[in-house]
Amino acid sequence: MTEQYSGGYSAQIIDQFKQRTFSNQGAFLQSYLSAGLSVLDCGCGPGSMTLDIAELVNPGQVFGIDSSPIQIEQALITQKERAIINASFVSGSAYSLPYVDEQFDVVFAHAVLYHLKKPEQALAEFFRVLKPGGLVALRDACHSGDMMMPESTDLMAVWGTIEKVFKHQGGNIYFGSQHKKLLLEQGFQHIKVTCSYDTFASDIEKDSIRSYWQQFLNLDHRQLILDQQWLTAIELEQQCKALDEWCANPASFFARARCEAIASK
Ligand SMILES: C[S@@+](CC[C@H](N)C(=O)[O-])C[C@H]1O[C@@H](n2cnc3c(N)ncnc32)[C@H](O)[C@@H]1O
């Protein structure tokens, strides 16, 4: 399977993911969780939301799995800091989960499937490890719903490059809108679809997303972009400058559309 996660694992990016909370990013699932449930957080990243879930379902057990040992190392550090004992973390793949059939009440995957080349294979694994009647909960970006304001041709060009990188690495920036179709194909029932936004409007929020995309373009995927001749070095510089200008505009904001789906086995 030729697929490479495009999000990056620098300390700066991991720090940004650590700011995510289940009460913000997982709000669509929160009312379904109660004490005693066993939960899998697949593609858990640095584990901030996994640990929030562990607090909610305590004494239920929560399992975080991520393909990156770097993320798991971070998750274990945060677990120790927060002194949470009903969570465990392991590195492994969504395509081949190291769990027995029908182990979990809930499988949560936040901002993971849109990075995968074969999301249907991951969903088939989620189905396998869920108990009958168990819930899968997905949240993924869908770029057609994004608002990066004020709109400009320069920013559209930036998104054109981001899309090319994602596609090349196996992902799909429009994936969120596919949840319902893929869940039906995998045999899930009672599918509830909602949408929400992650917004970046304060100076600090805008700066974090500016630096995230600049690192994505100019550091993590610079060589790929130049090798594929999607941009010249000068054009790449211009796209990074467009992000600086967007960020410096007091009227600008970014609202990232996230499609959400909850379904049962
Ligand atoms: C955008 S991050 C999201 C992390 C976390 N769920 C969050 O929202 O903060 C996507 C995560 O999925 C992981 N990942 C990518 N491909 C994976 C796979 N095939 N199996 C398991 N994890 C994977 C990456 O290592 C990364 O940590």
8 Å CB contact between 45 and 21: no
- CATH code of the domain in which 165 resides: 3.40.50.150
In a domain, 232, yes or no: yes
SS3 236: helix
pLDDT digits (tens, 9 = 90+) for 213-247: 999 999 999 999 999 999 999 999 999 999 999 99
List of residues 6+ apart from 247 with CB closer than 8 A: 206, 207, 210
Pocket test of ligand 1: the residue of 67, 74, 258 to mutate, having most ligand atoms within 8 Å of its CB, is 67
Nearest residue (by CA) to ligand 1, atom 10, is 112
Q: Which two tokens stand for residue 59?
A: 């004494």
Q: What is the pTM of this model?
A: 0.97
Task: Supply the pLDDT for residue 153.
Answer: 96
In a domain, 158, yes or no: yes
Residues in the chain where the model's pLDDT stays below 50: 1
Domain count, the chain: 1
Task: Supply the pLDDT for residue 3.
Answer: 81
pLDDT digits (tens, 9 = 90+) for 89-107: 999 999 999 999 999 999 9
In a domain, 4, yes or no: no
State the residue range of the domain holding 114: 11-264
In a domain, 83, yes or no: yes
List of residues 6+ apart from 188 with CB closer than 8 A: 123, 127, 136, 263, 264, 265
In a domain, 3, yes or no: no
Q: Is 86 in the pocket of ligand 1 (CB under 6 A)?
A: no
Task: Supply the pLDDT for residue 186.
Answer: 98
Q: Is 5 in the pocket of ligand 1 (CB under 6 A)?
A: yes
Q: Is 20 in the pocket of ligand 1 (CB under 6 A)?
A: yes
In a domain, 2, yes or no: no
**What distance in angstroms lies between residue 248's CA and the mean position of ligand 1's atoms?**
30
Q: Is 67 in the pocket of ligand 1 (CB under 6 A)?
A: yes
8 Å CB contact between 41 and 66: no
> Closest by alpha carbon to 64, among 83, 82, 36, 38?
38
Can you tell me the distance from the alpha carbon of 86 to that of 63, in angstroms, rounded to the nearest whole number? 9
Residue type, 111: A
Task: Supply the pLDDT for residue 98.
Answer: 98
**What distance in angstroms lies between residue 94's CA and the mean position of ligand 1's atoms?**
9
Can you tell me which residue has the tokens 């088939």?
124
Q: Is 111 in the pocket of ligand 1 (CB under 6 A)?
A: yes
Nearest residue (by CA) to ligand 1, atom 17, is 67
Residue type, 45: G
In a domain, 112, yes or no: yes
Can you tell me the distance from the alpha carbon of 112 to that of 59, in angstroms, rounded to the nearest whole number? 26
Q: What is the DSSP string of 80-106?
A: HHHT--SEEEEE--TTS-SS-TT-EEE
Task: Supply the pLDDT for residue 6.
Answer: 87
8 Å CB contact between 33 and 53: yes
In a domain, 216, yes or no: yes
For the beta carbon of residue 83, count every other beta carbon within 10 angstroms: 6
Task: Supply the pLDDT for residue 2.
Answer: 62
Sign of the dihedral through C-alpha 156, 162, 165, 171: negative
CA atoms within 13 A on the CB side of 166: 20
Nearest residue (by CA) to ligand 1, atom 9, is 17
Residue type, 242: A
E strand residue ranges, the chain: 39-42, 62-66, 87-91, 104-110, 130-141, 147-149, 189-200, 253-264
